[in-house]
Homo-oligomer: A and B are copies of this chain.
């Protein structure tokens, strides 16, 4: 694979020194494969953070009815059970959806890195903000009709996967079952199937051989009312923003003396 997806994303979240990059790179060694439907046990292994290097995983919650709601996908380069374990997301679970390769990082290692390298802490904080923004977009998505909701989700996936070179201009590998996808969209598997066929019928997408293809991306984005602004991947603006939030570590800001 081209570059390390973990580093690729973190670099988008803030400048990293060579030293920081080396330290992060060292974390990504020792990946092992996990089968589909394998639990990334949040409660059980709270001393370890999971870094997904390939494959699709998800965070989800199980309702009393037994049904499952996926609240976010975990893509290559994403950390899982960092804050999800611990105090936050005690109620959240996580598991693989497809075959994944995962690195289990001892929590204390990551904590040490955050403490030692300001750029790493800043970048991880940024990642958290991006997840918040994405979660809110999912809330908004919840009031759209099922077809737009599904289309929106595909647009989001396409954009996020392009950032880590796992999608080309109009498609990506997507070996996820319809049932799992339905849990992510928040509709029944039966209805997901029908919506899928409608979108296929409109020529908005095709999905076969575990590969999703979007013939006309702009068309689908327009249909889904998709604006990638909330993903904060685009361009240079994030640099200015980081500077605004946290000035460079060298310059220590003096508090207004009067």
Which residues of A approach B to under 8 Å, CB–CB?
23, 46, 59, 61, 63-64, 67, 69, 71-72, 83, 86-92, 107-109, 111-116, 125, 128-133, 135-136, 138-140, 142-144, 186, 225, 227, 229-230, 232, 237-238, 240-241, 244-247, 251-256
Residues in B whose Cβ lies below 8 Å from that of A143: 63, 67, 69, 186
CB-CB nearest in chain B for A60: B140
Contact A244 B128 (CB under 8 A): no
Residues in B whose Cβ lies below 8 Å from that of A252: 115-116
Q: How many copies are assembled?
A: 2
Given contacts A64-B225, A230-B88, A252-B115, contact A136 B244 (CB under 8 A): no
CB-CB nearest in chain B for A231: B88
Give the Cβ gap from A134 to chain B, nearest Cβ, in Å: 9
Contact B71 A136 (CB under 8 A): yes
Q: How far is the CA of A91 from the CA of B132 in the complex (A)?
A: 13
Given contacts A140-B63, A142-B139, A142-B142, contact A245 B111 (CB under 8 A): yes
Q: How far is the CA of A182 from the CA of B186 in the complex (A)?
A: 19
Give the Cβ gap from A137 to chain B, nearest Cβ, in Å: 8
Contact A89 B245 (CB under 8 A): no
Residues in B whose Cβ lies below 8 Å from that of A92: 136, 230
Q: How far is the CA of A53 from the CA of B125 in the complex (A)?
A: 26
Q: How far is the CA of A83 from the CA of B127 in the complex (A)?
A: 12
